[in-house]
């Protein structure tokens, strides 16, 4: 499996091992501190979590923001505040989420993209496809602003549609980063490494920079399967708050540290971000 080598942030590998991108997704759009007391919600909490995760080896943070009521938000002003809070204490790369989360329409997502709090955004094709008449314009406008998009695919139908849009030029070819969400439709929302197989088959020989996230206590097994297949890893409380043995993790940094240690035993190490 060939993996696209370009990344939206500068990295260097100082270890004699295989380097990979390790993104942390610390909160998501729906969880609260009732789900876990260490879930970061405010911009300062997210910033300090990002800093702690960077110290453990995370190369990037996938950020969701919340409004004053703790609800999922796409407010550009809040995103810009988050960027300032993170930059004040860490050089970790920041990706902002445009997730609708069943709340926002495509027009709001487009406004968020055009405000561009960072040059890296995650975007789910199935959400933007709710407005097919403007799909091409939305993606090309973002590309024209220099935004490097990571495309979220929840199943192989999403992935095949994305590849088709690449071929037709509907989605610009330069943004060939993909996040495969494993086990989104499993009966108990617990992913397994086998959930990666259909995605690998659908990728075929396409030149993609791909990453995996996974739900439940088999998260690390799934991420190791991705590394073994030439991909990259996204970890964090957005998808999983359990250790491999089913215990509750204390925080996102502990999750990152545990996986970095496991990956090292198999000859993998996160790329080190340079400022």
Domain map (residue ranges) of the chain = 19-267
Cα–Cα dist 67/214, whole Å: 26
Task: Give the per-residue pLDDT at 186.
Answer: 67
Task: Give the per-residue pLDDT at 152.
Answer: 98
Task: Give the per-residue pLDDT at 7.
Answer: 42
Task: Give the per-residue pLDDT at 10.
Answer: 40
Cα–Cα dist 49/236, whole Å: 11
pTM of the predicted structure, to 2 decimals: 0.92
**Phi and psi angles of residue 73, each rounded to the nearest 5 degrees, phi first:** -140, 155
Could you say which architecture CATH assigns to the domain 19-267?
A: Alpha-Beta Barrel (3.20)
Task: Give the per-residue pLDDT at 273.
Answer: 67
- Return contacts of 199-205, CB within 8 angstroms, 24+ apart: 199/153, 199/156, 199/159, 200/1, 200/229, 201/156, 202/156, 202/159, 202/160, 202/163, 203/1, 203/159, 205/2
Q: Tokens 């330069």 sit at which residue? A: 174
Based on the number of CB atoms within 10 Å of its own CB, is 244 exposed (0-12), middle (13-18) or buried (19 or more)? middle
CA distances from 254 to 88, 163, 241 (A): 22, 36, 10
Consecutive 10-residue averages of pLDDT for the chain (275 residues)? 42 67 98 97 98 98 96 96 97 97 96 89 97 96 94 98 97 92 83 98 95 98 99 98 97 99 98 67
Task: Give the per-residue pLDDT at 9.
Answer: 46
């Amino acid at each position: 499996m060939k993996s696209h080598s370009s990344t939206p942030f500068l990295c260097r590998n100082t270890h004699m091992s295989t380097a990979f991108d390790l993104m942390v997704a610390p909160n998501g759009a729906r969880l609260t501190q009732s789900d876990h007391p260490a879930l970061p919600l405010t911009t300062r909490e997210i910033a300090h979590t990002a800093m702690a995760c960077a110290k453990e080896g995370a190369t990037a943070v996938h950020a969701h923001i919340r409004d004053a009521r703790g609800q999922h938000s796409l407010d550009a002003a809040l995103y810009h505040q988050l960027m300032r809070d993170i930059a004040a204490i860490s050089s970790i790369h920041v990706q902002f989420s445009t997730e609708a989360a069943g709340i926002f329409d495509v027009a709001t997502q487009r406004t968020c993209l055009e405000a561009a709090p960072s040059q890296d955004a995650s975007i789910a094709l199935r959400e933007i496809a709710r407005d097919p008449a403007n799909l091409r314009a939305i993606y090309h406008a973002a590309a024209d602003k220099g935004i490097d998009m990571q495309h979220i695919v929840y199943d192989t139908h999403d992935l095949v549609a994305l590849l088709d849009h690449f071929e037709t030029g509907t989605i610009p070819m330069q943004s060939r980063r993909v996040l495969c969400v494993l086990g989104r439709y499993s009966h108990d929302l617990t992913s397994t490494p086998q959930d990666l197989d259909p995605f690998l088959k659908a990728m075929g020989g396409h030149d993609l920079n791909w990453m995996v996230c996974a739900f439940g206590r088999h998260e690390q097994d799934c991420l190791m399967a991705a590394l073994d297949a030439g991909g990259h890893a996204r970890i964090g409380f957005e998808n999983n708050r359990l250790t491999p043995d089913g215990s509750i993790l204390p925080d996102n940094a502990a999750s990152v540290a545990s996986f970095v240690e496991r990956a090292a035993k198999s000859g993998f190490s996160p790329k080190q971000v340079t400022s």
